[in-house]
Amino acid sequence: MATAPASSGSTPDSAPGSTPGSAPGFFPPELAAVPMVALNYGVRRRLGLYLNPRTAAAADWTALAEELGCEYLEIRRLEALPDPTGALLDEWQSRCPGGATVGRLLELLRQLERHDVLVDLAASVEEDCKKYLKRKQQQAEQPLQVPAVDSSVPKTSELMGITTRDDPYGNGTELFDAFICYCQKDLQFVQEMIRELEQTEFKLKLCVFDRDVLPGTCVWSISGELIERR
């Protein structure tokens, strides 16, 4: 069975970042609203080492679960897990994404008088929160990436007017829903398919090479242009 880490022996006034008369494990109030997702594996593992062992001498994870509103059956389910503290925190984040904050967790630990946890983890928790806020700030400062808009206008002059409804000067190109590839022996089937897709409720606009494409340009260049851009 895992045992809780030995207390560092710090007094309330000697906690990291504390001021005279402050509570154990003093935590900067400006970081209290940071969501629980900011806490990395190291801090969560240490929390489990403190809270997972069942002991009558100090409040364990079950006391924290009750403070978070868990019912008896929920606690019994978590009890069967190898890391009930970690599972409890994960479920809290999922159930209350807006209320699951680092400040709230530390407040509950203080109410449960787990000053040993606060003293030991205050510096690590603060470091995780600052890293999280720094990452968020860097993401916010990144320039907005606007994806390039492909107007589907051909880039070469010989492909500016390749269908019967294209503007020969490239000011307007005809667009389609699908390009039909077929062999001449399948022409009857293709004609039936065209009627079914264009003249019924589907209302698709098909590009049929022999019907819609102007002659005189390389067949493969035209086909590639129509399939890729139209």
The amino acid at residue 228 is: E
66 CA to centre of own chain: 30
* Predicted local distance difference test score (pLDDT) of residue 168: 57
Q: What is the residue whose two structure tokens read 């900011």?
A: 38
Residue-wise pLDDT tens digits, 198-213: 888 778 888 887 777 7
Q: How confident is the model at residue 170 (pLDDT cuts 50, 70, 90)?
A: low
User: What percent of the chain stands above pLDDT 70?
Assistant: 74
Question: Does residue 187 sit in helix, strand or coil?
Answer: helix
Sign of CA dihedral 203, 207, 211, 212: positive
From CA 38, how far away is CA 138, in angstroms rounded?
Answer: 15
Question: Does residue 182 sit in helix, strand or coil?
Answer: coil
pTM: 0.53
- List the CATH code of the domain at 12-141: 1.10.533.10
- Location of each CATH 1.10.533.10 domain in the chain: 12-141
* Predicted local distance difference test score (pLDDT) of residue 15: 41
* Predicted local distance difference test score (pLDDT) of residue 22: 44
Query: CA-based angle 78:41:90, to the nearest 5?
Result: 35
Strand partners, 213: 163
- Specify the higher pLDDT residue, 228 or 154: 228
Largest CA distance in the chain: 93
- Strands 178-180, 206-208: pairing is parallel
